[in-house]
């Protein structure tokens, strides 16, 4: 409960206290941000610790087992025991590894993930660490730096499994980054800003979540986000059955756990961005009235709303991991390049059409209220936008089916049968026929 009270502690009181020691500028630009950063880093680190516990418990729940039960009540202290084990393990560096890169790759991974938290608006007012004009671009660019850590770890280990894992991860993350970035553009057209706080305000001032306008983009973002985090069913870079452990095969102890910390923190980043852009961020109808004029209570309740929304998405991660089998490598690339990217491009075009229709209808139906904070729509306008959004799902299905009508099927056997000529015996390769013709 102590943490709850700490969050309830009125920042006004803290502000007064700080102002007695520092100047106003220092408090606003240095001390407060540091307090916020400290709080976020602590919370995310605790989450990374307990995510491993959640992972085991949820998998156990899905497989009708108990999961960790020995250390503490319901095994609640298991992560602490794990942390102690990892901290006291020997820090091995392979003899032929590149020592510097091998040592620093985990730090790049963790830093790239943690920096992105600085622009995520957890709540209005003091729930925002910083609000920059390029917020969303910042998240995308810094998380793309995280790929480097994986490649460098894979290369510097000087082991073939690690190298293969690193190469796979770079190919996978570069491909899915594209659809991830493109899927956000549609929502940006409605928000008219890249600032994450601005996107939330655009949704709050319209009392609508962008998932209603952009269901297709939300699905694309979620799938690409899971692929970007190398989570199952896209965990090819660390596929246990083929690559031992992928890029972190040679790592042990704390450096190994840093990679996991980064992975769990990156899940929070993707969930946080998905929440902010598509699920309305900290906005929930009625929260403002519930707070009854108390600003701090309002911020705290908004924080709770944000965390609950994120928790739903994070549960989805675990759920998917323990439900779906891993993709084969070519299927992964097919999904990325032939389905996700065309779908996200179509979404951009369709959103532009939607906004054009809204503006064209404005004379007759009164759809657009103002363009102040994003595209503010009237009730009728919202109806049109939601209709167009869900119509986009069907159009995307038709478009993708048409686009991929000749593409490789996920079922290789079926595809082989279809590509072969009719009179070639089932299962015999395509070239057999041509060779027979030549002979």
Asked if 421 touches other proteins (CB under 8 A), the answer is: yes
Asked if 428 touches other proteins (CB under 8 A), the answer is: yes
Q: Residues 141, 158, 295, 296: which binds other proteins (CB under 8 A)?
A: 141
Query: Is 307 in contact with 213 (CB distance < 8 Å)?
Result: no
Q: Coil, strand or helix: which one is 56?
A: helix
Query: Is 392 in contact with 215 (CB distance < 8 Å)?
Result: yes
Whether the bond into 16 is cis, omega within 30 of 0: no
Q: How many helices (H) and strands (E) does the chain have?
A: 20, 2
Count residues near other proteins (CB under 8 A): 58
Q: Residues 120, 140, 279, 377: which binds other proteins (CB under 8 A)?
A: 140
* 295 or 378: CB nearest other proteins: 295
* 156 or 367: CB nearest other proteins: 156
Q: Coil, strand or helix: which one is 38?
A: helix
| C-alpha span between 395 and 215 (Å, rounded) | 12
* 79 or 225: CB nearest other proteins: 225
* 401 or 421: CB nearest other proteins: 421
> Which range in 65-73, 135-143, 295-303, 346-354 contacts other proteins by CB under 8 A?
135-143
> Which range in 127-135, 294-302, 343-351, 354-362 contacts other proteins by CB under 8 A?
127-135
Asked if 124 touches other proteins (CB under 8 A), the answer is: yes
Q: Which of the 8 DSSP states describes residue 72?
A: S
Q: Coil, strand or helix: which one is 296?
A: helix
> Which range in 63-71, 269-277, 350-358, 430-438 contacts other proteins by CB under 8 A?
430-438
Asked if 129 touches other proteins (CB under 8 A), the answer is: yes
Q: Residues 113, 118, 172, 197: which binds other proteins (CB under 8 A)?
A: 197
Query: Is 268 in contact with 200 (CB distance < 8 Å)?
Result: no
Cβ at position 431, least distance to other proteins in Å: 4
| C-alpha span between 306 and 113 (Å, rounded) | 19
> Which range in 52-60, 66-74, 76-84, 117-125 contacts other proteins by CB under 8 A?
117-125
* 197 or 257: CB nearest other proteins: 197
| C-alpha span between 27 and 23 (Å, rounded) | 6
Asked if 138 touches other proteins (CB under 8 A), the answer is: yes
Q: How far is CA 52 from CA 69, 80, 81, 142, 193, in A?
A: 14, 11, 12, 24, 36
Q: Residue 400 corresponds to which tokens in the numbers above?
A: 């993708």
DSSP 109-146: HHHHHHHHGGG---SSGGG-S---TTHHHHHHHHHHHH
Q: Coil, strand or helix: which one is 405?
A: coil
Asked if 133 touches other proteins (CB under 8 A), the answer is: yes
Binding track, positions 198-237, relative to other proteins; x by CB under 8 A: x--x------------------------------------
- The set of residues, in sequence order, having a beta carbon less than 8 Å from that of 293 and lying 6+ positions away, is none
Asked if 427 touches other proteins (CB under 8 A), the answer is: yes
Cβ at position 27, least distance to other proteins in Å: 9
Bridge partners (DSSP) listed for residue 376: 370
Cβ at position 101, least distance to other proteins in Å: 7
Q: Coil, strand or helix: which one is 376?
A: strand
DSSP 143-157: HHHHHHHHHHHHHHT
Q: Scanning residues 146 to 175, which ones bind other proteins (CB under 8 A)?
A: 147-148, 151-152, 155-156, 163, 166-167, 170-171, 173-174
DSSP 199-216: HHHHHHHHT--HHHH-HH
Q: Scanning residues 83 to 102, which ones bind other proteins (CB under 8 A)?
A: 98, 101
Asked if 422 touches other proteins (CB under 8 A), the answer is: no
Q: Residues 44, 49, 182, 194: which binds other proteins (CB under 8 A)?
A: 194
Query: What is the contact surface with other proteins in residues (CB under 8 A)?
Result: 28-29, 98, 101, 121, 124-125, 128-134, 137-138, 140-142, 144-145, 147-148, 151-152, 155-156, 163, 166-167, 170-171, 173-174, 177, 181, 193-195, 197-198, 201, 419-421, 424, 427-435, 437-439
């Amino acid at each position: 409960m102590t943490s709850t009270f700490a969050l309830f502690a009125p920042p006004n009181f803290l502000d007064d206290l700080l102002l007695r020691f520092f100047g106003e500028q220092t408090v606003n630009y240095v001390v407060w941000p540091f307090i916020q950063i400290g709080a976020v880093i602590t919370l995310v680190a605790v989450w990374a610790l307990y995510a491993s516990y959640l992972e085991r418990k949820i998998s156990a729940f899905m497989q009708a087992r108990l999961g960790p039960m020995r250390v503490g009540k319901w095994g609640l202290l298991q992560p602490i025991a794990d942390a102690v084990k990892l901290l006291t393990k020997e820090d091995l560096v392979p003899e032929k590894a590149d020592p510097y890169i091998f040592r620093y790759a985990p730090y790049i991974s963790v830093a790239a993930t943690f920096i992105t938290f600085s622009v995520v608006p957890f709540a209005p007012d003091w729930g925002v660490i910083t609000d920059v004009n390029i917020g969303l671009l910042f998240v995308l660019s810094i998380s793309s730096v995280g790929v480097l850590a994986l490649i460098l770890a894979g290369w510097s280990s000087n082991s073939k499994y690690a190298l293969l894992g690193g190469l796979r991860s770079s190919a996978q993350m570069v491909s899915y980054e594209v659809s991830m970035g493109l899927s956000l553009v549609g929502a940006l057209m409605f928000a008219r800003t890249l600032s994450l706080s601005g996107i939330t305000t655009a949704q709050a001032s319209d009392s609508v979540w962008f998932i209603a306008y952009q269901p297709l983009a939300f699905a694309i973002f979620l799938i690409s986000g899971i692929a970007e985090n190398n989570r199952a069913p896209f965990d090819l870079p660390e596929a246990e059955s083929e690559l031992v452990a992928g890029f972190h095969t040679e790592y042990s102890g704390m450096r190994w756990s840093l990679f996991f910390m980064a992975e769990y923190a990156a899940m929070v980043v993707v969930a946080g961005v998905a929440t902010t852009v598509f699920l309305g961020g900290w906005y929930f109808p009625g929260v403002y009235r519930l707070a009854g004029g108390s600003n701090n209570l309002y911020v705290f309740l908004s924080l709770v709303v944000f965390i609950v929304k994120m928790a739903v998405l994070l549960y989805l991660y675990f759920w998917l991991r323990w439900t779906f089998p891993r993709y084969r490598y070519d299927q992964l690339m097919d999904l990325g390049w032939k389905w996700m990217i065309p779908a996200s491009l179509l979404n951009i075009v369709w959103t532009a059409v939607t906004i054009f229709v809204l503006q064209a209808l404005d004379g007759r139906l009164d759809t657009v209220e103002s363009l102040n904070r994003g595209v503010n729509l009237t009730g009728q306008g919202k109806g049109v936008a939601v209709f167009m959004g869900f119509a986009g799902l069907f159009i995307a299905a038709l478009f993708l089916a048409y686009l991929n009508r000749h593409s490789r099927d996920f079922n290789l056997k079926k595809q082989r049968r279809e590509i072969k000529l009719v009179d070639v015996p089932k299962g015999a390769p395509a070239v057999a026929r041509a060779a027979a013709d030549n002979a």
